[in-house]
Amino acid sequence: MNQTQTIEIPIAGMDCTECTQTVQRAISSLNGIKKADVFLSSEKAIIQLDPSLVKMIDIRNAVKNAGYSVPQQNEENTTPNAALVNFSRRIFTVLGLAFGGIILLVVAGEWLGLLDGLTQFIPFPIGVLLVILGGAPIFLNVIRATLNRQVISHTLMSIGALAAILVGEWTTAMVVVFFMHIGSYTEKLTAEGARRAVKDLTAMAPQTARVERNNEEKEIPIAEVQINDIVIVRPGEKIPVDGNVVYGQGAINQASVTGESMPVETNTGSHVFAATLLKQGSLKVRAQAIGAQSAFGRVIKMVEEAEMHRADVQQFADKFSTYYLPVVLGIAALTFLLSRNLLATAAVLLVACSCTIALATPIAMLASVGASAKKGILIKGGKYLETLARADVLLIDKTGTLTLGKPIVTDIVSLNGMDENSLLSIAASADRYSEHPLADALRRSAHERGLELKEATDFESIAGIGVRANVSGYKVSVGRYSLEKDEQVKTLESQGKTVLSVMVNDQLAGLIAASDILRSEVPDALGEVKKLGIQKIELLTGDNESVASSLAASLGISYRAGLMPEDKIRIVKEYQSQGRIVVMVGDGINDAPALAQANVGIAMGKAGADVAIEAAHITLMREDWTLIPQLIQTAKRTMRVVKGNLGFTAAYNIIGLILAAFGFLPPMLAAALQSIPDLGILGNSARLIRQSEK
């Protein structure tokens, strides 16, 4: 019987998208592998396999044969330390000066014949042996790739080094090997730059927890904490688990989950999140979610796996890099056929920068996704950033999105002799099990008046209309049922209030009006959104015409009222049929279908809300409209950086290939220049990190 098991393994040595594709192909080729996803940002692979057909040793060997490795879980990471990856101008200046100095020395040495003197002291066979020894790790990877019918970036440079040896220039071959190592390190540095935000995020997760067991406090690794354990947290410590406070009170900084640094007051019964910081007070927390199952764990997982949703421009770059190497080989062959100049041919192979093309997009995307997560914005992939940058329609839900979602009862109009308290009591009782914000407003108002709610049976919720239930022997309906448009109703609605009818035994017993509160930051945020190029902003609401009209007029946007959930999907499709790029902002629960249908669905969900995170393409972990223009700005800035990376890389390669093909670029200089584009992309993409930290 077929079994499916999912495992995660670390992968060492990956520097670019080409590397991830190579590893993914190697793993997927094994019998028993059902699916393999390899991620550059988190340096890991997630594999679905049949354990009866494939073993871990098979996967390890496949990765090794592809030129990479699977470290043991207790091995230290072999990539450069994150502390070495500093995106300040000072570091880039030093790197630039170092490379400039090396290039100057190489060129001057070749022109002045300083390197030629080596051949007088070192015999040619010894020189070739030095080249082989110096380049052995790279040459072995090239041989493995060739045996697997793959052409990698170092294939070209290795052929270039071989060409130099064939014409007796072993010193040139040695310089090529030197710059191959420099290039490899530069690519690792560049890839590490993209991982910086992800690793900074992961570093926030607590590694240990202090638990109460057998009336004793014990500090244990987070992996050993169990559900329902009582975890003790003291001032200045990070909360290690998601859970409920069972004792104590304090102020918590939730920036790691929501991006908001203002402390949140917490006491017995409050829900708290892992990786948040207890600023004041002491707490005992009953563990409910641990590690990857916590809200913070899900944030990390989403950021790590954002590469699965590649932008169209990234997919284009990936495909282009696949065909680029064979094209360069063709240009090199044509150069040799026309010029018979083996050094010019070698220079063509040496100057080509295939990894840079593959890095141009994911480096920028990973930087933005990781940095945004630290601000409480979860983006499921680069494709949504690319789409958001081109969006021209913004559709907005009302309740819980534009408003606080906590309406208050403002008016109670009793009809047919029923007093206000009786009307409110029976309506709130019928809405006892409803999760709608208006139902919550009825219950809160009844509680404030000291009214006792009665049991509701045969409860039925009808989306977009209201509820029905039996209360104390009466058949009660609350919502938009047979609402007559008399003068009293019109007056209430003209004030921007939502009017509910209360039907008792199919007779109108009264009206209850409620009003929601607009989020204070919404007007300014929508003004910023308009400045960013969103041509059409429209409010979509199930409320009546008067309520929608009043709110939309105050914000200077259009509206559609009286909508059912399926109407919102229809409107999204309507705009999409016109070729428009639609962004939908909702609360992530009742708007889930419309969020999924939109080109980009943004859920304004609360921290830890599973539905909010799953429903949309982008989730705001705190309910703050200022994040919307920030998000659009990030998308546009990211695409400018991506286009700059691709434009620079394309121009650099074209110019380099032309100069090399016509003999104007000696092999040594071609090898030296090969690594420069990586630094260019690193510096350009690093702006996304710096700007996000302002």
Residue type, 625: W
CATH number at 467 reads 3.40.1110.10
Residue 277 in domain: yes
Tens digits of per-residue pLDDT, 16-50?
A: 666 777 888 889 989 989 888 887 766 788 888 88
Q: What are the two backbone dihedrals, phi and then psi, of residue 610, each rounded to the nearest 5 degrees?
A: -60, -45
Q: What are the two backbone dihedrals, phi and then psi, of residue 213, each rounded to the nearest 5 degrees?
A: -135, 130
- Cα angle 519-520-524, degrees, rounded to a multiple of 5: 110
446 shares a domain with 502: yes
- 504, β-bridge pairs: 476, 507
Mean of pLDDT over the chain: 80
Give the end-to-end CA distance of the chain in Å, rounded to a whole number. 56
Structural domain harbouring 469: 408-515
Tens digits of per-residue pLDDT, 101-133?
A: 554 555 455 555 555 555 567 788 888 888 888
Calculate mean pLDDT across residues 136-164. Answer: 76
Calculate mean pLDDT across residues 645-668. Answer: 86
Calculate mean pLDDT across residues 373-377. Answer: 81
| Nearest residue to 316 via CA among 372, 382, 391, 390 | 382
Domain boundary among 41, 65, 89: 65
pLDDT band at 588 (very low <50, low <70, confident <90, very high): low
Higher-pLDDT residue of 457 and 496 is: 457
Calculate mean pLDDT across residues 611-618. Answer: 71
Residue 51 in domain: yes
415 shares a domain with 485: yes
Domain boundary among 563, 598, 633: 598
Q: Which of 229, 242, 318, 397 is catalytic?
A: 397
**Do residues 651 and 681 make contact, with C-beta atoms less than 8 angstroms apart?**
no
Q: Which residue has the tokens 């007007």?
A: 523
Listed range (277-281, 293-297, 480-484, 518-522) with the worst mean pLDDT: 480-484
504 shares a domain with 426: yes
Residue 384 in domain: no
pTM for the model: 0.67
Domain boundary among 289, 305, 338: 289
Look at residue 121 and give its three-state secondary structure.
Answer: helix
Sequence-distant (6+) residues with CB within 8 A of 541 are 397, 398, 399, 547, 548, 551, 559, 560, 561, 563
Question: What pLDDT, on the 0 to 100 scale, is given for residue 112?
Answer: 52
529 shares a domain with 506: no
Residue type, 177: V
538 shares a domain with 412: no
Residue 617 in domain: no
Whether the pLDDT of residue 306 is over 80: the answer is no
pLDDT band at 380 (very low <50, low <70, confident <90, very high): confident
Question: What pLDDT, on the 0 to 100 scale, is given for residue 329?
Answer: 82
Residue 588 in domain: yes
pLDDT band at 647 (very low <50, low <70, confident <90, very high): confident
- The percent of residues above 70 in pLDDT, for the chain, comes to 79
Question: What pLDDT, on the 0 to 100 scale, is given for residue 606?
Answer: 62
Question: What pLDDT, on the 0 to 100 scale, is given for residue 74?
Answer: 47
Higher-pLDDT residue of 484 and 439 is: 439
Whether the pLDDT of residue 303 is over 50: the answer is yes
Calculate mean pLDDT across residues 638-664. Answer: 88
Listed range (283-287, 380-384, 502-506, 655-659) with the worst mean pLDDT: 380-384
Question: What pLDDT, on the 0 to 100 scale, is given for residue 575?
Answer: 95
Whether the pLDDT of residue 87 is over 50: the answer is no
- DSSP code of 78? -
Whether the pLDDT of residue 176 is over 80: the answer is no
- The percent of residues above 90 in pLDDT, for the chain, comes to 20
Listed in order, strand segments (DSSP E) in 425-532 are 456-462, 466-471, 474-479, 498-504, 507-515
Residue 421 in domain: yes
Whether the pLDDT of residue 413 is over 60: the answer is yes
CATH number at 61 reads 3.30.70.100
Question: What pLDDT, on the 0 to 100 scale, is given for residue 200?
Answer: 65
531 shares a domain with 544: yes
**Do residues 278 and 250 make contact, with C-beta atoms less than 8 angstroms apart?**
yes
Our answer to whether residue 397 is catalytic in this structure is yes
| Nearest residue to 497 via CA among 559, 538, 545, 539 | 545
437 shares a domain with 578: no
Higher-pLDDT residue of 494 and 561 is: 561
Question: How far, in whole angstroms, is CA 639 from its chain's centroid?
Answer: 15
Residue 610 in domain: no
pLDDT band at 602 (very low <50, low <70, confident <90, very high): very high
398 shares a domain with 546: yes
412 shares a domain with 492: yes
CATH number at 270 reads 2.70.150.10
Higher-pLDDT residue of 9 and 614 is: 9
Residue 15 in domain: yes
Residue type, 637: R
398 shares a domain with 528: yes
398 shares a domain with 532: yes
522 shares a domain with 488: no
Question: What pLDDT, on the 0 to 100 scale, is given for residue 84?
Answer: 37
Residue type, 10: P
Long-range contacts of 598-604 (CB under 8 A, 24+ apart): 598/395, 598/572, 599/387, 599/391, 600/384, 600/387, 600/388, 600/391, 602/628, 602/631, 604/400, 604/401
| Nearest residue to 561 via CA among 396, 329, 383, 394 | 396
- Cα angle 340-345-346, degrees, rounded to a multiple of 5: 135
Rg (CA), the chain: 32
CA distance 429 to 438: 13
Question: What pLDDT, on the 0 to 100 scale, is given for residue 577?
Answer: 94
pLDDT band at 485 (very low <50, low <70, confident <90, very high): low
Structurally, how many domains does the chain consist of? 4
pLDDT band at 93 (very low <50, low <70, confident <90, very high): very low
**Do residues 206 and 257 make contact, with C-beta atoms less than 8 angstroms apart?**
no
Tens digits of per-residue pLDDT, 191-242?
A: 565 556 566 667 778 888 999 888 888 889 988 899 999 999 999 889 999 9
- 585, β-bridge pairs: 396, 602
Exposure of 263 in the CB half-sphere (CA atoms within 13 A): 14
Sequence-distant (6+) residues with CB within 8 A of 511 are 411, 412, 413, 415, 488, 489, 492, 499, 500, 501, 502
Sequence-distant (6+) residues with CB within 8 A of 581 are 387, 390, 391, 392, 393, 599, 600
